[in-house]
Amino acid sequence: MPAQPQLAVLSPAQLERDLAIRDLSDPADGPHAIQLIADAAAGALASAWGARCEVRWCRGPRIVPIADNYDRLGYDPADITRDARYTRYVDGTRMLRAHATALVPAALRRLAADPADDVLLVCPGMAYRRDVIDWQHTGTPHQLDLWRVSRRPLAASDLDEMIATLLAAVVPGLPSRQLVRTHPYTTGGRQVDVARGDDWVEVWECGLAHPDVLAGAGLRGRTGLALGMGLDRLLMLRKEIPDIRLLRSADLRVASQMHDLQLYRPVSSQPAIRRDISIAVDGSEDAETIGDEVREALGADADAVEDVAILSSTPCAELPVRAVARLGARPGQHNLLVRVVLRRLDRSITDGEANDLRDRIYARLHSGDRHQWAGAARQA
């Protein structure tokens, strides 16, 4: 495994916090409709492929070897996704899984030790991402990997059948499209999107399992189909849920609706409050890292944030001198204009609360030596 130099790792407190988050895809953490989507997907494939294809559910720990998350899936040692900005490293050899596909190498090794002629590996689990904040993204998405591994040749036509079967089972009647995509662990990769009104929502990526991944697990000569789906988005499409935060809502009026696949009945519509902040950053920040920093800044209050968007990015060297002085910007920094949309799901937000949340976000993100708001200055 390639060495991981000078990794930025999670603190014990951060790791404890992340491991305490409920995995909605795991029945051991309590029932949730996300599990019904996973059951429907696996059940539809089992029915379509019949007794000739054995089904094996493969759950696993949230902490996985870095090699299983990246190297054994064919990721390049220099891939940007390995950067600590996007990955939650535990130590020099382990990490919190960044996708459910990290469960696949271990499942393949178990298959090599206990072979079957034709098998469907069902690997569900929560993943950990440093991701943007909006209606369809979360730092802890739930995913399901479905890998069929066979002694007989599997081809693109088999992948076509798999896609059609899953669409009919989990989002029946909704329009879909397919796009060409490249993944390190597949050949002939595709992305499948489903329509949500006038928008397209990515729901899974798939392809033929890369022969090097299978061979590396001791399955040389086998062929496979590899598919990884986003359970949160599929549930939202199925139930017409407008905001991903609702999946974890503690409001009983909402939580009681997360045990079936019936259409979601809106509970209330709270007004949104917008706050724009102008900050100086070191230039490496993007929408994903900004979203993660906002989550870190607010902790338990992060569920009040509906959306975070970077409206503009300008090198500070191109700003007027007075603007640079107001930011306290240093050479080489960028000025970001960030819009934060605040909306709690269960109650309205007061202006004072909105300003406090804005100040906490500003204090976390702003890297200049001057602060616009007194609250931010106190916390800097």
User: What is the per-residue pLDDT for 373?
Assistant: 65
Every domain of the chain with CATH number 3.30.930.10 lies at: 12-239
pLDDT number for residue 6: 54
pLDDT at residue 378, as a whole number: 44
The one-letter amino acid at 159? L
Residue 122, token pair as written in the block: 């069902």
Number of H helices, E strands in the chain: 12, 12
- Rounded-to-integer distance, Cα 79 and Cα 86, Å: 11
Looking at domain 12-239, does it have CATH number 3.30.930.10?
Answer: yes
Are residues 125 and 26 in contact, defined by beta-carbon separation less than 8 angstroms?
yes
Tracing tokens 């539809």 back to the chain, one arrives at 44
Q: Domain 273-379: give its CATH code.
A: 3.30.70.380
Domain with CATH 3.30.70.380 in the chain: 273-379
Write the CB contacts of 230 (distance below 8 Å, at least 6 apart in sequence). 141, 142, 143, 202, 203, 204
Give the whole-angstrom CA distance, residue 207 versus residue 210.
Answer: 8
344 and 303 in contact (C-beta within 8 Å)? yes
User: Quick check: pTM over 0.85?
Assistant: yes
Which segments of the chain does DSSP mark as H helices, in order?
A: 12-19, 33-49, 66-69, 104-113, 156-170, 211-216, 231-239, 252-255, 287-298, 321-327, 351-365, 374-379
pLDDT along the chain (380 residues), means of 10: 62 96 97 98 97 95 98 95 91 97 98 97 96 90 98 97 98 97 97 96 98 98 98 97 94 95 90 93 85 92 93 92 90 92 90 94 90 54
Beta carbons within 8 Å of 191's beta carbon, 6+ residues apart: 178, 179, 180, 181, 202, 204, 205
Give me the pLDDT at residue 260, please: 97
Q: Which residue has the tokens 């369809």?
A: 136
* Cα 309 from Cα 286, distance rounded (Å): 10
